[in-house]
């Protein structure tokens, strides 16, 4: 058993040492250097991390250290399980030390499929790799918290290696290809039951589940957006044209296509397309169709060619489903499917050196050369071609209508030509991704495309522009059937359009990011390194980072505001508008109210650090009070509250209505007193002037009185003397 495990581990000496250490409980594991794929920088970083790193379980509740069940060894990489963007490392489950596990460390700059991960975690889905658990770990290579996903190791090697091996006969390989087909039925059905598509089926992501090569399992599908790291051969024409982050979840038919493409690559046993540019692969598929491009003439077995032809049908209605494959494997006859073939023009339209006979070819070529495309639209060559050569008067009239509308709106729309071209491309070929400027996204790939762009530090302006210009809505409401079919999507498109129209915190592109990608960690520069997925993790994290962040800045920036607004479904409009206010005092108070709202909703854990941070920012809000004495009283009350770590009490102290009323009345009284004093000063100044009438009069009166007093005094003396 131990030998078998060691063999699975790669049979290396250090792994067997690990096994011993697991048993003894000592975790001083020697550094393993087996991978040529690890770069020197990675090596250096891993070398520094000698100790195993604990995985901290994350879920909607507060993460706790008690859940440190899994440990990951940064010095024990397992390159054979690497995905395209995530590196694999040895992991152990302390509760089941004999279980062979590996951990994929997700790249924080690539969005992951978090919803799918939650659905798959802890489930044993036949013919799919088992996701044991997931959580954050402090990964030295990225110098931040990263999502680590723990998988059970497959029992056997990857299919890719098997097919490249000279050891096995072609007949055996054909049998394995059939085994892949058989396993794919179970695997994809199991995923479909959970509403998950795989979208990462490729030769190096399929493994034998045993050493006897008797069963197959599909590898991970959650570390990248759907179809992200797929070669264009493995993607359908429509999804392959889209940008790698914007290919969308798709459905089971996309996975069926990928299975067939994988088998064709494996059976060809060459990397023939590596020399072709992505554009050329897509173009060849459009011109010749996918089956002819990937398979025809290259496979020796006619039997398997038949199933691949069905599975690689470009028209989704004609493509074989899982039931068809099942029937085929049972050697039953598959009824042919009727679907509308692509109409071909009687005369080709010469565009960019290519004579295009179909709408699909033309639409693809136009999306690749946009300036020339606009020329043929404006010269009406396209309309004429549609009407005369393609004989599609409806299409021609739609094109001319959109063109006329665009000419009318040209003065108003900044990017009228780009918008016109995008609309024409949608009309020409509605199944193709939406193409605007240099981006292409599928209907279900907008969110992941936006996330990919933002997480990579790119500019999402073109994405937001396409929404603001109503391109997504135009596609979703192309005709009445589409309107009914896409009701939910139209609602989402309208919602994100509303978010984009609002510029304040909690809205804009940040809100779109979190609304469309519920599994996207908070991208605020303040906490980006903490990899926060849930609002419940937010306050404890802000509390934790107080010592290492600039506490002069607000703990609620645009990203955090949008993250909170997305995760907490309560009505936070009032708080968000306060945070966006120009008045610093209202802004600060709004921030505090929002944090209090989260604290009230999540937990009653004291937040000493955060309370200290927020308390230090309260000066503008305290300055709302006019009375200096009241300000001092409030300021002196803050340290006491900070020691309790209760943000609610802090809000109560600062935003106390009785204090406000008292201050208002006091201020009014003070103003009146000031006014009265000013009036008295003016009066005194006027009267005390030596030249003033009253001073003159008073002084003369005084002289008279003095004279009279002298008179009385002397007269009295005389009388008394006699």
Q: Which is nearer to another protein, 144 or 627 (CB)?
A: 627
| Residue 89 bridge partners (DSSP) | 77, 103
Residue from the set 409, 643, 670, 693 that interacts with another protein by CB under 8 A: 670
Residue 171 interacts with another protein (CB under 8 A)? no
Q: How far is the CB of 713 from another protein (least distance, A)?
A: 9
* Residues 119 and 168: beta-carbon distance below 8 Å: no
Distance, CA of 153 to CA of 207 (rounded, Å)? 10
Q: How far is the CB of 691 from another protein (least distance, A)?
A: 8
* Binding segment (CB under 8 A) for another protein, from list 96-104, 303-311, 341-349, 624-632: 624-632
Name the residue nearer to another protein (CB basis): 480 or 636: 636
Residue 715 found at the interface with another protein (CB under 8 A): yes
Q: Does 666 bind another protein (CB under 8 A)?
A: yes
The answer to whether 673 contacts another protein (rule: CB under 8 A) is yes
CB of 708 to another protein, least distance (A): 5
Nearer to another protein, 408 or 682 (CB): 682
Q: Least distance to another protein from the beta carbon of 583, Å? A: 15
CB atoms within 10 A of CB 562: 26
Stretch 378-397 residues interacting with another protein (CB under 8 A): none
Strands 439-441 and 434-436: antiparallel
Backbone angles phi and psi of 526, in degrees to 5: -70, -40
Using DSSP, state whether 144 is helix, strand or coil: strand
3-class DSSP assignment, residue 610? helix
DSSP letters spanning 314-351: SSTTTS--HHHHHHHHTTPPPPP---PPPP--SS-EEE
The answer to whether residue 626 forms part of the interface with another protein (CB under 8 A) is yes
Contact stretch for another protein (CB under 8 A) within 128-136, 277-285, 648-656, 712-720: 712-720
Q: What is the closest distance, in whole angstroms, from the C-beta atom of residue 710 to another protein in the complex? A: 6
Which of 211, 233, 59, 86 shows the shortest CA–CA distance to 151? Answer: 86
Q: Does 722 engage in binding with another protein (CB under 8 A)?
A: yes
Residue 435 buriedness (CB in 10 A; 0-12 / 13-18 / 19+): buried
Give the shortest CB-584-to-another protein separation in angstroms.
16
Pair 609, 546: CB distance under 8 Å: yes
Q: Is residue 636 within the footprint of another protein (CB under 8 A)? A: no
Got the DSSP string for 344-381? --SS-EEETTEEE-SHHHHHHHHHHSHHHHHHHHHTTH
Within 328-387, the residues that bind another protein by CB under 8 A are none
664 binds another protein (CB under 8 A): no
Q: Give the residue with the Cβ less far from another protein, 571 or 691.
A: 691
Q: Determine, following the binding rule CB under 8 A, whether residue 720 of this chain makes contact with another protein.
A: no
Please say which residue, 175 or 676, places its beta carbon nearer to another protein.
676
710 binds another protein (CB under 8 A): yes
Shorter beta-carbon distance to another protein: residue 457 or 690: 690
By the rule CB under 8 A, 706 interacts with another protein:
yes
Q: How far is the CB of 582 from another protein (least distance, A)?
A: 19
Residue with tokens 């009295």: 716
Our finding on whether 677 is near another protein (CB under 8 A) is yes
Complex with another protein: residue 658 or 722, whichever CB lies closer: 722
Residue among 194 and 706 whose Cβ is closer to another protein: 706
What single-letter DSSP state applies at residue 433?
Answer: P
CA angle 520, 603, 542 (to 5 degrees): 50
- CA-closest candidate to residue 73, choices 17, 115, 3, 155: 17
Helix (H, G, I), strand (E, B) or coil at 665: helix
Nearer to another protein by Cβ, of 257 and 625: the residue is 625
**Rounded to the nearest 5°, which phi and psi values hold at 335?**
-65, 140
Nearest in space to 149 (alpha carbons), one of 102, 110, 191, 181: 102
Query: Does residue 675 interact with another protein by CB under 8 A?
Result: yes
b or e along 92-123 (b: 16 or more beta carbons within 10 Å of the residue's beta carbon)? bbeeeeeebbbbbbbbbebbbbbebbbbbbee
Asked if 318 interacts with another protein (CB under 8 A), we say: no
Q: Which stretch binds another protein (CB under 8 A): 51-59, 439-447, 550-558, 690-698?
A: 690-698
Nearest to 641 by CA among 667, 664, 621, 612: 612
* Interface with another protein, residue 620, by CB under 8 A: no
Residue 706 beta carbon to another protein: minimum distance, rounded to whole angstroms: 6
Nearer to another protein, 213 or 659 (CB): 659
Q: Which one among 629, 643, 652, 664 touches another protein, defined by CB under 8 A?
A: 629
Q: Could you give the CA distance from residue 242 to residue 234 in angstroms, rounded to a whole number?
A: 13
Does residue 695 bind another protein (CB under 8 A)?
yes
> Is the C-alpha dihedral spanning 30, 32, 33, 39 positive or negative?
negative
> Three-class SS of residue 75?
strand
Give residues with Cβ within 8 angstroms of 356, minimum separation 6: 345, 348, 349, 350, 362, 365
Could you say which residues in the range 534-553 bind another protein, by CB under 8 A? none
The correct pick among 26, 548, 628, 657 for binding another protein (CB under 8 A) is 628
Nearer residue to another protein within complex by CB, 30 or 666: 666
Say whether residue 687 binds another protein (CB under 8 A): yes
Q: Is residue 665 near another protein by the rule CB under 8 A? A: no
Footprint on this chain of another protein (rule: CB under 8 A): 626-629, 666-667, 670-671, 673-675, 677-678, 680-681, 684-685, 687-690, 695-704, 706-708, 710-711, 714-715, 718-719, 722
């Amino acid at each position: 058993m131990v030998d078998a495990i060691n063999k699975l581990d790669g049979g290396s000496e250090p792994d067997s040492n690990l096994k011993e250490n697991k048993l003894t409980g000592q975790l001083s594991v020697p550094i393993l250097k087996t991978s040529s794929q690890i770069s020197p920088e990675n090596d250096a970083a891993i070398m520094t991390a000698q100790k195993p790193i604990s995985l901290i379980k994350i879920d909607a509740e507060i993460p706790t250290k008690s859940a440190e069940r899994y440990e990951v060894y940064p010095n024990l990489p397992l390159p054979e399980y690497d995905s395209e963007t995530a590196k694999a490392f040895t992991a152990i489950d302390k509760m089941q030390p004999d279980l062979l596990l590996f951990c994929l460390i997700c790249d924080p700059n690539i969005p992951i499929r978090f919803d799918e991960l939650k659905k798959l975690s802890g489930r044993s889905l036949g013919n799919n790799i088992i996701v044991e658990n997931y959580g954050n770990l402090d990964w030295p290579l990225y110098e931040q918290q990263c999502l680590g996903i723990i998988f059970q190791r497959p029992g056997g090697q990857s299919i890719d290696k098997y097919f490249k091996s000279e050891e096995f006969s072609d007949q055996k390989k054909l049998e394995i290809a059939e085994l892949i087909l058989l396993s794919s039925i179970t695997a994809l059905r199991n995923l479909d039951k959970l509403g998950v598509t795989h979208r990462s089926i490729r030769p190096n992501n399929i493994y034998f589940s045993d050493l006897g090569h008797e069963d197959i399992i599909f590898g991970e599908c959650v570390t990248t957006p759907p179809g992200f790291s797929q070669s264009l051969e493995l993607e359908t024409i429509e999804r392959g044209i889209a940008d790698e982050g914007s290919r969308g979840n798709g459905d089971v038919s996309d996975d069926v296509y990928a299975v067939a493409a994988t088998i064709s690559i494996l059976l060809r046993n060459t990397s023939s397309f590596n020399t072709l540019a992505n554009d050329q692969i897509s173009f060849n598929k459009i011109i010749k169709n996918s089956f002819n491009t990937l398979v025809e003439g290259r496979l020796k077995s006619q039997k398997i060619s038949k199933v691949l032809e069905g599975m690689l049908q470009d028209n989704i209605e004609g493509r074989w489903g899982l039931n068809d494959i099942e029937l085929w494997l049972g050697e039953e006859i598959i009824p042919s499917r009727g679907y509308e073939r692509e109409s071909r023009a009687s005369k080709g339209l010469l565009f960019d050196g290519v004579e295009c006979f179909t709408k699909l070819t033309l639409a693809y070529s136009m999306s690749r050369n946009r300036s020339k495309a606009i020329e043929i639209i404006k010269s009406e060559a396209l309309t004429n071609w549609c009407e005369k050569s393609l004989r599609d008067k409806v299409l021609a009239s739609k094109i001319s209508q959109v063109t006329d509308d665009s000419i009318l709106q040209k003065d108003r729309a900044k990017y009228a030509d780009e918008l016109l071209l995008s609309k024409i491309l949608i009309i020409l070929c509605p199944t193709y991704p939406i193409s605007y400027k240099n981006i292409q996204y599928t209907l279900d790939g907008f969110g992941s495309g936006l996330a990919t762009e933002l997480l990579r530090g790119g500019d999402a302006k073109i994405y937001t522009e396409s929404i603001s210009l109503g391109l997504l809505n135009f596609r979703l409401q192309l005709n009445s059937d589409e309107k009914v079919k896409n009701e939910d999507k139209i609602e989402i498109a309208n919602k994100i359009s509303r978010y984009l129209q609002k510029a304040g915190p909690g809205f804009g592109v940040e809100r779109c990011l979190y609304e469309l990608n519920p599994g996207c960690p908070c991208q605020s520069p303040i906490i980006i390194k903490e990899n926060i997925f849930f609002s419940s993790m937010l306050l404890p994290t802000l509390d934790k980072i107080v010592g290492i962040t600039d506490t002069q800045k607000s703990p609620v920036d645009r990203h955090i505001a949008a993250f909170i607004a997305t995760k907490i479904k309560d009505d936070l409009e009032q708080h968000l508008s306060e945070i966006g206010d120009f008045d610093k005092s209202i802004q600060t108070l709004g921030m505090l109210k929002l944090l209090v709202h989260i604290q009230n909703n999540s937990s009653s854990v004291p937040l000493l650090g955060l309370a200290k941070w927020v308390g230090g920012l309260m000066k503008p809000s305290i300055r709302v009070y006019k009375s200096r004495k009241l300000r001092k009283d409030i300021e002196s009350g803050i340290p006491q509250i900070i020691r309790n770590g209760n943000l609610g009490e802090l809000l109560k102290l600062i935003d106390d209505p009785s204090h406000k009323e008292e201050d208002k009345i006091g201020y009014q009284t003070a103003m009146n007193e000031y006014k009265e004093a000013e009036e008295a000063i003016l009066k005194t100044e006027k009267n005390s002037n030596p030249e003033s009438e009253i001073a003159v009069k008073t002084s003369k009166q005084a002289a008279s009185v003095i004279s009279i007093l002298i008179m009385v005094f002397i007269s009295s003396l005389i009388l008394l003397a006699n």
